[in-house]
Amino acid sequence: MGFWWRFNLLVFTIAILSTPVLSDLILSKVDRRIDLTSQIVRITSTLKVENAGSGLVSEVLLAFPELQAKNLVYLMATTNEGKGKTKSSGVSLPVEVANPKGMPPALTVYSVSLPKALGEGDTMSLDVLAVFTHTLKPFPEKITQADIQLVLFQDSAYYLSPYAVKFQSLSIKLPDARIESYTKIENTKIHGSEIKYGPYENLPPFSYSPLVVHFEINQPFAVAQELVREIEVSHWGNVQVTEHCNIVHEGAKSEGEFSRLEYQARPHIRGSSAIRHFVAKLPPRAHSIYYRDEIGNISTSHLWADSKKTELLIEPRYPMFGGWRTAFIIGYSLPLQDFLFESEGKRFLNISFASPINDLVIDNLVVKVVLPEGSRDLSVSTPFPVKQRQESKISHLDVVGRPVIVLEKADVVPEHNQYFQIHYSFNKLSMLREPFMLISGFFFLFVACIVYVHVDLSISKSSASYLAKLQWDEVRATIQQVESIINQCLATHEKIEASLRDLSRIGDVQACKTTRKTADGLLKEHSKELKPLLAFLQSSPAAANILPKVEELVAKERELQERWMAKHSIIVDCYEKKLGGREIENRVAPQQQKVVALRQEVEDLLEYIDEI
Amino acid sequence: MADPENAKEATTLRYAFGNVLSFFILLLIGVLAFWIRLFSVIKYESVIHEFDPYFNYRVTQFLTKNGIYDFWNWFDDRTWYPLGRVIGGTVYPGLTLTAGTIWWILNSLNIPLSVETVCVFTAPIFSAFASWATYLLTKEVKGAGAGLTAAALLAMVPSYISRSVAGSYDNEAVAIFALIFTFYLYIKTLNTGSLFYATLNALAYFYMVCSWGGYTFIINLIPMHVLLCIVTGRYSSRLYIAYAPLVVLGTLLAALVPVVGFNAVMTSEHFASFLVFIIIHVVAFVYYIKGILSPKMFKVAVTLVVSVGLVVCCAVMAILIALVASSPTKGWSGRSLSLLDPTYASKYIPIIASVSEHQPPTWPSYFMDINVLAFLVPAGIIACFLPLSDASSFVVLYIVTSVYFSGVMVRLMLVLAPAACVMSGIALSESFSVFTRSIKFQLHGLSGSSQVDSGDASSSTVVAQNDAGKAEKTEDTAKERPSKKSKKKEKGIVDKPSLKAKIERRLLVLPFEASIFAILLLVLLGAFYVVHCVWAAAEAYSAPSIVLTSYSHDGGLHVFDDFREAYAWLSHNTEVDDKVASWWDYGYQTTAMANRTVIVDNNTWNNTHIATVGTAMSSPEKAAWEIFNSLDVKYVLVVFGGLVGYPSDDINKFLWMVRIGGGVFPHIKEPDYLRDGQYRIDSQATPTMLNCLMYKLSYYRFVETDGRGFDRVRQTEIGKKNFKLTHFEEVFTTHHWMVRIYKLKPPRNRIRGKTKKPRSQKTSSTTRTKRSAATKRNPWH
């Protein structure tokens, strides 16, 4: 690696020799701070730009060597309008790739458009934040469980710029751990875990002095090779977010044995570089949180929630050593009113772009926003350029599918975790469509049932079985009539019985007799009514097997009737003769027994016929 | 005055709403059957359980992804390496096709449930179906009251719950439904003599054949019943219609299932049905002849035919027996043979005997699995004899045979459960009807000529039972009499039932207090059963067995998720084509969860292959390495419970590996691993034991955990404490050490003379030389 770096340097030197000065800008002061405490390298440079020439200058060029440029994932320049140390974070300036003529090919140049052109002698202060991923190279590349993880970082000790730099300094912040080696040039100081280079003064454009730091870092190198976020908006009050993470530990590869014993006994020595957990900062009021992978729930997670934030600590199924992979899904629901707003008759969703997991580098992020079915006029506004396309997804009870906006972006770091907006219009009535569909579905099901029960589905109206069925229906109707008549007779008997009871209580013989008379009349009527019905049953062939029962029933009923009458006359007789209670009992007893037995039989028969 | 009118109205209302009421009760029973099985999802998670369900799940995934034709032609190269397995031809497809169809219907209705969800909930859904089928079956036998009781009992019988909790996605889950439904349709055909039901019966039988190997139970039980009917002189045309179409259609349909194929006519399990098929035709012919001949002529004909027929039959039988006897297993499969002779498996096929569910059950397991039903069954059998009908003789036969089979294998307890439920349902409902009838009669008798009549009496019993909180029992009494009658009507015993029934009823009247007391006791019994079932569903049978939990003394829940940890590690951190060797128990899980090729799995179709793995596990390290290397194995997975006290680990299963391995490779001898006939791993263990691969992989560096190597499962200190592995290296061990994965070290380069630097050269050899070198030295090729 060292050799390759030197070769690169050679290219640069050639480039430097052959390049003219681009413009009359000079950087009067450059202050660089490199943060190496995590796998994401953040270089913050404060530039004081001065126009030493005569013309107006409206853009400042920032140069990065190609090696760095291909890992540059985020670049932001802000101006500090406020003078001096009062750092009111200023306006961020548009930055774009520039290809000015005469630049060395090994440099990638970005141009920052200034808010107002700098006149002669004007100065301006710029803050540039550049974020790089995959720049810390593990060295050695493979370590065992017992080894510590060492990485190399390379940069230039001088600020690489197309402009002359008057005064510059550089400080490198390292994690609190061992520093294996670092390049020592003039004015190098080490102060705890911070290395300071500079100040250097009056360096020409494209000055370059290679700088290598080799140090221990035990921060996780968690890289999500692909992360798919699905944000599903439901107007019933819920935003469901599902994140499919596919994570690899991109630190030094682990080789040799993995001993759980060593790991459990001395976790911070044997396995210091392993990823133990991730922390995800979810929005406040997130609920229904789950953490699982394709083979089920993962039980190692903790959740802390308060009104400001919801913090989810998730442990992978196993500690992740260098080169190990894992995949999991986290999902959570958010209250709709926190993220969906309405303006000018349109709705817009305002939600953060990147994953809530801390310190995660995402190589390829896909954000899918699923809007409710029936959303129209979709438009997206994002704070940085992303690839977008549209597809549709069919979910619960959908007919045409829900519109899905797919946003894709490579190389995403926490700095990208900004809000983006999706505007769309939606008719409120569409919300009621799915409940209506369900209701109508059940409605038609029941209607179909009713229709099925009531419609005669027999194929032939003249077939023997159909006719038999019709006949049988008739027979049944007749039998029912017979039954009802018998029941009426039984009711009459009850009346007689009641009158007898009254008699025993009050002794009103006359009333009893009148009851008897009316009962007689009723019973006669009933037997008259019965005759045609029985005649019909006898004539009908379908009733052949039930006829004996019916006839038995009628006969039994008649007998019962007679017994009642007999009993009644005996009792009335007795009363008229003013006989004692015991005497009456004795006389009635045989009748009474018969009555009870007959009545039971009649009831049994009725029940039996009922069944048919 | 209005009293009698009211009473009458009440009775008519009761009948009118009877159907509606029983419909809702059935619905509730279905809901109960479904919900009681959700304990596993609520207490754990929605996940597939155990071992076999993982295979079924994987097959279902394949089916839903690739379609039915690819499914039939699926050759699975992820298992039985290097042999592979023809899944489409060796799997009972019923369950997979069912779940696949459900998934497909839901998805075409735009309800995007995952395959896993559908698989998890298939078993509870089919339990609801099974309890409805039980209702139908029992209703055919003894009326709707008994049907409802039996359905309620089946909905929560622990034996069935154990195989059909949510997530237990196994063949039995749908097969029990198919079994009961087939029996129902058979009885229905027998009662009605309708060809429509006979055809449905054949289809239900087809579904059963698709679902489970246990279909042989049906195809032997029904012929037995037919034979019983013929012998006891109950032959009728209805019997013929119930049986003949089933054999013809059923066999044709069964032969369509690839896994059965020609077995449907070739194996001995099906011979009984064909024999009875012939007999029933002979009998039918005899009845026909009897009908057209005069009695005298008939006698002559009988003697003639019998003498000729006997000769022919003897000849045919002799040929058949000779054919059957010529095959070594007499044409029976190993599992069926072990059913007929319970000692067969332990004598000849250790692999069948090694499965715990093929062991005979203990008495407590009867109480655990069917609980109070065990006491109710005899009463149910007695009730079936009063009066004995075709249908009730069938359920008697069913319970007798299934009691025998459940005594042979724990697993077949599952077949006993529905029979026990049917019997207990009959018993409970009969006794309830007797008691309530006595109460009713007594109330009636007490009141004599006073106002209290039948309506009041029945309502008072209703109240009494409502107090006891048994809603379904109320329905029983309401439905009891009508259904009984309807059954009688169907059977055409219309002669003089009313009088007879009345006399019987009179005879069965019990004293009032005794009846009340007995009802209370029965309700208590039922309540006890319900409590036990809920407990069993919640505590005993809901654990998914891939996730274990334990409660610490402060009440906290500790989860042991080691299996999935290991499978997830394998699936993410090894190459896609790596082969993983483990004992066959973990084969299905490894292919399904880790998606890695395994050497052997739970299908156990190739004894030699399993024996090879068993031999490797029982061999010393070097020999084991050679065997594994010849099989192209890269990782070896062992399950070890010694650290946390998980008893079903590989060390406890190890003797079976020795036995199965020794059965094929005689140089592995079981006594070498036993000290004085005892299996031990402490310092008294034999050197063979202490040096075998399984011991070393399980206890590698175990001693360093607590300084003395105390095994919590065996409750002893291990025998050999400090040792190094030379041919394997530990690559992963789960959090509680329950799964340990080792990698085979690559072979050393061959250096002239002796190997000098074993470590530094291990990376430079290629696989090809590794293989060829290994095959030469491997003694098993």
Structure tokens at A112: 């920052």
Residue B21 C-alpha, separation from nearest chain A C-alpha, in angstroms: 17
Find out whether B413 and B141 touch, Cβ atoms under 8 Å. no
Structure tokens at B587: 């084969």
Q: Which of A501, A496, A498, A481 is nearest to A575 (CA)?
A: A501
Mean pLDDT of B188-205: 93
Write the residue in B8, B564, B731 that is nearest to A296 by C-beta: B564
Positive or negative CA dihedral for A525, A526, A532, A534? negative
pLDDT at B472: 41
In this structure, the strands spanning A210-216 and A150-156 are antiparallel
For B239, how many CA atoms within 13 A lie in the half-sphere containing its CB? 28
CA dist A141 → A174, A251, A575, B363 (Å): 20, 8, 123, 62
pLDDT at A82: 52
| Residue pLDDT, tens place only, B371-387 | 889 899 999 999 999 88
Q: Is B563 an 8 Å CB contact of chain A?
A: no
pLDDT at B488: 39
Distance CA B679, CA B714 (A): 10
Cα nearest neighbour of A553 on chain B: B498
Find out whether A39 and A175 touch, Cβ atoms under 8 Å. no
Tokens 């109460």 locate to B439
Distance CA A492, CA A515 (A): 10
Tokens 């969860």 locate to B593
Lowest mean pLDDT among A89-103, A299-313, B95-109: A89-103
Strand-pairing partners, residue B551, are B557
Write the residue in A299, A396, A498 that is nearest to B559 by C-beta: A299
Residue B556 C-alpha, separation from nearest chain A C-alpha, in angstroms: 14
pLDDT band at B409 (very low <50, low <70, confident <90, very high): confident
Residue B67 C-alpha, separation from nearest chain A C-alpha, in angstroms: 21
- Residues from chain B that touch A256, judged by Cβ atoms under 8 A, are 729
Find out whether B215 and B264 touch, Cβ atoms under 8 Å. no
Residue B489 C-alpha, separation from nearest chain A C-alpha, in angstroms: 8
With H, G, I as helix, E, B as strand and everything else as coil, classify residue B101: helix
- Residues from chain B that touch A519, judged by Cβ atoms under 8 A, are none
Find out whether B3 and B453 touch, Cβ atoms under 8 Å. yes
Find out whether A340 and A233 touch, Cβ atoms under 8 Å. yes
Distance CA B110, CA B80 (A): 38
Structure tokens at A592: 């009474």
Positive or negative CA dihedral for B360, B364, B366, B368? negative
Find out whether A81 and A88 touch, Cβ atoms under 8 Å. yes
Mean pLDDT of B194-213: 93
- Residues from chain B that touch A610, judged by Cβ atoms under 8 A, are 15, 482
Q: In the predicted model, what is the mean pLDDT of chain B? A: 82
Lowest mean pLDDT among A213-227, A403-417, B428-442, B456-470: B456-470
Cα nearest neighbour of A600 on chain B: B502
pLDDT at B479: 40
Q: Is B9 an 8 Å CB contact of chain A?
A: no
Q: Could you check whether the bond before residue B482 is cis, i.e. omega within 30 degrees of 0? A: no
pLDDT band at A572 (very low <50, low <70, confident <90, very high): confident
- Residues from chain A that touch B697, judged by Cβ atoms under 8 A, are none
Mean pLDDT of A312-336: 91
With H, G, I as helix, E, B as strand and everything else as coil, classify residue A395: coil
CA angle B281, B285, B291 (to 5 degrees): 150
Cross-chain residue pair A295–B568, CB shorter than 8 Å: yes
Mean pLDDT of B297-322: 84
- Residues from chain B that touch A399, judged by Cβ atoms under 8 A, are 110
Mean pLDDT of B460-468: 39
Q: Is B729 an 8 Å CB contact of chain A?
A: yes
Cα nearest neighbour of B486 on chain A: A611
Structure tokens at B155: 């909905």
ipTM of the complex: 0.77
Distance CA B526, CA A4 (A): 84
Question: To which H or E segment does residue B65 belong?
Answer: helix B52-72
Q: Is B593 an 8 Å CB contact of chain A?
A: yes
Find out whether A355 and A229 touch, Cβ atoms under 8 Å. yes
Write the residue in A258, A323, A592 that is nearest to B732 by C-beta: A258
Cα nearest neighbour of A258 on chain B: B731
Cross-chain residue pair A608–B497, CB shorter than 8 Å: yes
pLDDT at A113: 85
Residues 6 or more apart from A140 whose CB is under 8 A from it?
A147, A150, A252
Write the residue in A259, A494, A592 that is nearest to B4 by C-beta: A494
Amino acid at A393: K
Number of helices (H) and strands (E), helices first, in chain A? Answer: 8, 32
- In terms of average pLDDT, the best of A471-485, A587-601, B419-433 is B419-433
Cross-chain residue pair B498–A610, CB shorter than 8 Å: no
pLDDT at A525: 86
Cα nearest neighbour of A320 on chain B: B569
Structure tokens at B512: 């009032």
Cross-chain residue pair A318–B732, CB shorter than 8 Å: yes
- In terms of average pLDDT, the best of A581-595, B12-26, B50-64 is B50-64
pLDDT band at B328 (very low <50, low <70, confident <90, very high): low
- Residues from chain B that touch A293, judged by Cβ atoms under 8 A, are 568
Q: Is the pLDDT of residue B500 over 90?
A: no
Q: Which three-class secondary structure string do you get for B654-718?
A: HHHHHHHHHHHCCCCCHHHHCECCECCCCCCCCHHHHHEHHHHHHHCCCHHHHCCCEECCCCEEC
- Residues from chain A that touch B735, judged by Cβ atoms under 8 A, are 260, 318
Write the residue in A299, A324, A395 that is nearest to B573 by C-beta: A324
Cα nearest neighbour of A261 on chain B: B705
Residue A148 C-alpha, separation from nearest chain B C-alpha, in angstroms: 19
pLDDT at B427: 94
- Residues from chain B that touch A396, judged by Cβ atoms under 8 A, are 110-112
Q: Which of A412, A239, A227 is nearest to A330 (CA)?
A: A227
Cross-chain residue pair A317–B564, CB shorter than 8 Å: yes
- Residues from chain A that touch B486, judged by Cβ atoms under 8 A, are 611
Distance CA A507, CA A523 (A): 25
Find out whether B441 and B389 touch, Cβ atoms under 8 Å. no
Question: To which H or E segment does residue B548 belong?
Answer: strand B548-551
Write the residue in B45, B502, B730 that is nearest to A297 by C-beta: B45
Question: Hey, how many other C-beta atoms are within 10 angstroms of the C-beta on B217?
Answer: 21
Find out whether B598 and B571 touch, Cβ atoms under 8 Å. no
Find out whether A601 and A607 touch, Cβ atoms under 8 Å. no
Write the residue in B4, B110, B485 that is nearest to A397 by C-beta: B110
Cross-chain residue pair B573–A293, CB shorter than 8 Å: no
Distance CA B583, CA B658 (A): 12
Cross-chain residue pair A261–B701, CB shorter than 8 Å: yes
pLDDT at A330: 93
Q: Which three-class secondary structure string do you get for A111-157?
A: EEEEEEEECCCCEEEEEEEEEECCCCEECCCEECCCCCCEEEEEEEC
Structure tokens at A249: 């530990």
Find out whether B99 and B60 touch, Cβ atoms under 8 Å. yes
Tokens 């320049």 locate to A77
Find out whether A33 and A155 touch, Cβ atoms under 8 Å. no
Distance CA A165, CA A197 (A): 15
Mean pLDDT of B29-42: 93
In this structure, the strands spanning A72-79 and A123-132 are antiparallel
Cross-chain residue pair A298–B732, CB shorter than 8 Å: no
**Which residues 511-550 of chain B have a CB within 8 Å of chain A?**
546-547
| Residue pLDDT, tens place only, A17-71 | 444 445 678 888 889 999 988 889 999 998 888 887 777 888 888 888 888 888 8
Write the residue in A260, A326, A612 that is nearest to B568 by C-beta: A326
Structure tokens at A411: 């190389």
Q: Is the pLDDT of residue B117 over 50?
A: yes
Distance CA A276, CA B88 (A): 43
Residue B483 C-alpha, separation from nearest chain A C-alpha, in angstroms: 9
Lowest mean pLDDT among A166-170, A409-413, A532-536: A532-536
Q: Is the pLDDT of residue B741 over 90?
A: yes
Q: Is the pLDDT of residue B779 over 50?
A: no
Cross-chain residue pair A394–B732, CB shorter than 8 Å: no
Question: Hey, how many other C-beta atoms are within 10 angstroms of the C-beta on B3?
Answer: 14
- In terms of average pLDDT, the best of B609-613, B763-767, B777-781 is B609-613
Calculate helix-pair angle for B115-142, B52-72, nearest 10 degrees: 100
pLDDT at A10: 45
Q: In the predicted model, what is the mean pLDDT of chain A? A: 83
Write the residue in A298, A325, A612 that is nearest to B573 by C-beta: A325
Write the residue in A257, A545, A611 that is nearest to B482 by C-beta: A611
Distance CA B635, CA B300 (A): 78
| Residue pLDDT, tens place only, B330-373 | 666 666 677 777 777 667 777 777 777 777 888 888 888 888 89
Distance CA B442, CA B458 (A): 11
Cross-chain residue pair B485–A398, CB shorter than 8 Å: no
Residue A463 C-alpha, separation from nearest chain B C-alpha, in angstroms: 19
Positive or negative CA dihedral for A117, A122, A127, A128? positive
DSSP B107-158: HHTT----HHHHHHHHHHHHHHHHHHHHHHHHHHHH-HHHHHHHHHHHHT-H
Distance CA B669, CA B684 (A): 18
Cross-chain residue pair A259–B733, CB shorter than 8 Å: yes
pTM of this structure: 0.80
CA dist B75 → A496, B18, B260, B375 (Å): 86, 54, 18, 49
Mean pLDDT of B654-665: 89
What's A94's DSSP letter?
P
Tokens 């998890």 locate to B120
